[in-house]
Amino acid sequence: MNKKIIIGLLTCASLAYGCQSSSTQNKQAATSADSTSSQAFDGQIDGKEVKLFQLKNDKIAVTLTNYGARLVTLKVPNKDGGVTDVILGYDSAKEYKENYNNFYGAIVGRYGNRIGKASFTLNGESYSLEKNDGENSLHGGTNGVYNKVWDVINRTATSITLAYTSPDKEAGYPGTVKMEVTYTLEENGGLAIDYLATTDKETVLNLTNHAYFNLNGAGDSSILDHELQIDAKAITEVDHTLIPTGKSLPVAGTAFDFTKPQRVGAHIEDENAQLKIGKGYDHNFELNKKDGFQKVAAVYASKTGIEMQVYTTEPGLQFYSGNFMKDSDPKGKEGKVYPFRSAFCLETQHFPDAPNHPNFASTVLKPGEKYSSKTTYRFNVK
């Protein structure tokens, strides 16, 4: 593909974040990274310019779009000496927009995961959110940040920072929230995702990335052969609408015990009330971690030899086993079908519905505070 330098996306990207006026910063961004010219992605959504961008080093290659700040491809080495694209997605911005509510590769929020009855109370004031999951709000509602065009404010060959300002009361949430997400390729085979945000009014915030993974390759028919390990002794119990009851359930002796590596498909059909509710795994794992950045999970696919390790600062990890995927869904990249349980998600997060559960770790963000979170997906060959 032809490549070209897109200067307009590097300066004055957002009034809320200010014009990037430093000549040194702009020179570095303009000379060390390219956007990828792609007729399928070049264009406008909601009146804002959309592009495809590429990051690459010796270990990993990524393309992403500023629509939803989402990952489009993620290519990593496999045991045969080639590379495998391990995330699902589409071949054009138009397809992402038309199918925005499956969240492929996107940054989701303002509140990743579910909020029960699409409402919460903060400082005595009730807030009503958009209902897009029955009576609940999922991933920020229909006006979530996954459905917005972000501004590119800084780039290098191996890193890109995107910004979005969510206005007060967008999707029902209080406060004007200025947020940034930075994707960085690490020399050890990691894809690091750093989140920063501030608000002018007390609010709640819970951002995460919603990549759908298949380590056998995007378009492979199943993830049930993947071996998964999660460092968690409990899950958050959910009701029939997948909203937390407030109770923790120990995983020991159940289908949810991934404290040692086991195949995803080993117990997914067990007689278990929580599995029946989720039609498989769609639960928050309460991580056995202290404050700080730590390894919390690992996945391995023997077919390709690819292992993915997950590191995060977050207290929870939503494991979703693709239970609502189906053959009739719109076809993905290269016309491939993404059938039932052909992908998994490991979404680092605070707990679902935390604003309605005082016993959960708080997701409240106040003026003068800085929201900061980091997750890394690290890839190697075994």
Binding-site residues for beta-D-galactose:
113-114, 210-212, 282
Cβ–Cβ under 8 Å, residues 297 and 231? yes
DSSP state of 28: H
* 350 assigned to active site: no
**Which is the catalytic residue, given 226, 283, 347, 357?**
347
Within 13 Å, how many C-alpha atoms sit on residue 85's CB side?
Answer: 18
**What distance in Å separates the CA atoms of residue 197 and residue 265, rounded to the nearest whole number?**
38
- The dihedral region occupied by 296, where left means phi > 0, alpha psi between -120 and 50, and beta the remainder, is alpha
Cβ–Cβ under 8 Å, residues 374 and 189? no
Question: From start to end of 68-118, where are the E strands?
Answer: 70-77, 83-85, 107-108, 114-115
DSSP string of 252-297, one letter each residue: TTSTT--SS-EETTSSTTSS-HHHHHHTS-EEEEEE---SS-EEEE
**Which is the catalytic residue, given 210, 226, 283, 350?**
210
Binding site as annotated, residues: 113-114, 210-212, 282
Burial-class residue 208 by CB neighbours within 10 Å (0-12, 13-18, 19+). Answer: buried
Q: What are phi and psi of 303, to 5 degrees?
A: -60, -40
Nearest to 90 by CA among 150, 145, 50, 119: 50
Q: Sign of the CA dihedral 150, 147, 238, 233?
A: negative
Give residue 342's identity as a one-letter amino acid code.
S
Six token digits for residue 200: 């002018």
Nearest to 287 by CA among 297, 278, 279: 297
* 210 assigned to active site: yes
Burial-class residue 290 by CB neighbours within 10 Å (0-12, 13-18, 19+). Answer: exposed
- Per the omega criterion (within 30 degrees of 0), is the bond before 114 cis? no
Positions annotated as catalytic residues are 210, 347
